[in-house]
């Protein structure tokens, strides 16, 4: 029973950490509240936020939207707290603690998803859409809006999230080299977070820092993938599809990557580090693919009137996961060979 209690406490602590990061980020953004904080926490495990707005009158017209975005800053904060508490004792009770946490986390998330309700602040005169110098809607500035979170997807996402964290903890406890890799990444990751938050605060103020606090992993992975030549695209359809396509491709970086790979292979012919480089490529490629899938953003907006529903906006921010897998594997493979080549050169110079 003691290990079960420890697993329950670990799950609760992880949720408190996620809620704290969410509250801090929203406060820096100039908003907050229990309902909105709960909605952001539910989104961190894959929950979808549903918004409905209708004019304050008798017209049977409503605007309904669904937003799916995962604030990975919260997801990673909760994962680190849960993993650290589960691994504090390296004994046979890990699976018992993990099982208790895997049950308690989605159960508590159910209550959080039910609390994720409220009315978002709407600016006056909303309703103009993407088109300027056009007529304003007769109910502009008089919308009755509310948001909620679909409980089912949020709870299912919580189950998957908890099982993934428990599985990673088992790998860390089972294989020492995995634990060594996580320990090596601790301080560089913490330094990156501090630098990014400081830069955001310096150049964009508190709102920029709040946004970075919530979605820093997306920003980092997006920048890395763009540097590897993987384009991110915004695709829109519907009456309000005025968002431009931001996708782009930089073939010069692919040429540089190919040259880097060639140099690494030339080194590998003499030292035979291909197995280690292949493992690095597989890990980096897998991480790149997962981050690409988790960074997906979608927004669906429809207008319902007199029993009919008309889609007005369907927006998607995506990147090709297969291309991310290829680019990440290439970068990991070539980078490992390059590091190995630098190590050989440094030893040769020291002689």
pLDDT of 75-120, one tens digit each? Answer: 999 999 999 999 987 667 899 999 999 999 999 999 999 999 988 7
Question: Does 277 lie in the same domain as 239?
Answer: yes
**pLDDT beyond 60 at 26:** yes
Question: Does 162 lie in the same domain as 17?
Answer: yes
Give the per-residue pLDDT at 241: 63
Give the per-residue pLDDT at 84: 93
Question: Does 345 lie in the same domain as 243?
Answer: yes
* Domain-ending residue, one of 227, 260, 280: 227
Least confident range from 90-94, 246-250, 308-312: namely 246-250
Question: Does 247 lie in the same domain as 195?
Answer: no
In this prediction, residues 47-58 reach a mean pLDDT of 80
Question: Does 93 lie in the same domain as 37?
Answer: yes
Domain count, the chain: 2
Least confident range from 173-177, 224-228, 282-286: namely 224-228
Give the per-residue pLDDT at 316: 85
Reported confidence tier of residue 32, pLDDT bands at 50, 70, 90: confident
Q: How many CA atoms lie within 13 A of 331 on its CB side?
A: 22
**pLDDT beyond 80 at 142:** no
The two tokens of residue 272 are 């035979």
Question: Does 237 lie in the same domain as 200?
Answer: no
Closest residue by Cα to residue 283 from 187, 158, 163, 171: 171
Residue with tokens 């301080």: 187
- Side-by-side strand order, sheet with 308-319: 143-149, 49-55, 61-68, 297-305, 308-319, 232-237
**More confident of the two residues 101 and 319:** 101
Question: Does 206 lie in the same domain as 90?
Answer: yes
Reported confidence tier of residue 233, pLDDT bands at 50, 70, 90: confident
Question: Does 65 lie in the same domain as 47?
Answer: yes
For residue 319, what are the CA distances in angstroms to 181, 223, 232, 293, 314?
27, 12, 5, 8, 16
Question: Does 317 lie in the same domain as 261?
Answer: yes
Question: Does 168 lie in the same domain as 101?
Answer: yes
Question: Does 247 lie in the same domain as 215?
Answer: no
* Domain-ending residue, one of 210, 227, 244: 227
Angle, vertex CA 58, rays to CA 57 and CA 64, nearest 5: 80
* Domain-ending residue, one of 204, 227, 250: 227
| Domain range for 316 | 232-351
Q: Which residues contact 256 (CB under 8 A, 6 or more apart)?
A: none
Residue 70: count of CB within 10 angstroms of its CB: 22
In this prediction, residues 218-243 reach a mean pLDDT of 75
In this prediction, residues 256-262 reach a mean pLDDT of 49
Give the per-residue pLDDT at 314: 84
Give the per-residue pLDDT at 128: 42
Asked if 8 contacts 105 with a C-beta cutoff of 8 angstroms, the reply is no
**pLDDT beyond 80 at 178:** no
Give the per-residue pLDDT at 252: 47
């Amino acid at each position: 029973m003691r290990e079960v209690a420890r697993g329950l406490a670990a799950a609760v602590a992880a949720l408190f950490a996620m809620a704290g990061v969410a509250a801090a980020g929203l406060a820096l953004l100039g908003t907050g509240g229990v309902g909105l904080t709960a909605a952001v926490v539910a989104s961190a495990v894959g929950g979808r936020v549903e918004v409905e707005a209708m004019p304050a009158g008798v017209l049977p017209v409503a605007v309904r939207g669904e937003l799916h975005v995962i604030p990975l800053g919260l997801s990673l904060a909760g994962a680190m707290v849960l993993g650290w508490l589960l691994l504090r004792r390296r004994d046979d009770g890990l699976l018992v603690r993990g099982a208790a946490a895997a049950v308690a986390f989605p159960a508590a998330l159910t209550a959080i998803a039910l609390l994720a309700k409220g009315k978002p602040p709407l600016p006056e005169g909303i309703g103009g859409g993407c088109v300027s110098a056009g007529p304003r809607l007769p109910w502009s500035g008089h919308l009755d809006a509310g948001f909620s979170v679909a409980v089912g997807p949020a709870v299912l996402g919580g189950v998957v999230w908890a099982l993934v964290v428990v599985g990673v903890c088992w790998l860390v406890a089972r294989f020492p080299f995995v634990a060594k890799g996580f320990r090596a990444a601790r301080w560089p990751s913490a330094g990156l977070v501090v630098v990014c938050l400081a830069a955001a605060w310096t150049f964009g103020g508190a709102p920029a820092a709040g946004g970075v606090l919530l979605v820093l992993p997306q920003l980092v992975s997006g920048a890395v993938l763009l540097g590897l030549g993987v384009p991110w695209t915004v695709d829109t359809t519907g009456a309000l599809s005025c968002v431009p396509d931001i996708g782009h491709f930089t073939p010069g970086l692919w040429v540089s990557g190919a040259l880097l790979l060639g140099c690494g292979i030339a080194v590998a012919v003499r030292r035979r580090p291909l197995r280690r480089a292949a493992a690095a490529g597989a890990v980096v490629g897998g991480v790149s693919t997962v981050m690409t899938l988790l960074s997906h953003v979608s927004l669906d907006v429809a207008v319902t009137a007199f029993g009919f529903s008309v889609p007005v906006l369907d927006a998607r921010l995506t990147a090709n996961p297969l291309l991310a897998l290829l680019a990440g594997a290439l970068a990991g493979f070539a980078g490992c060979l390059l590091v190995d080549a630098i190590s050989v050169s440094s030893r040769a110079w020291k002689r």
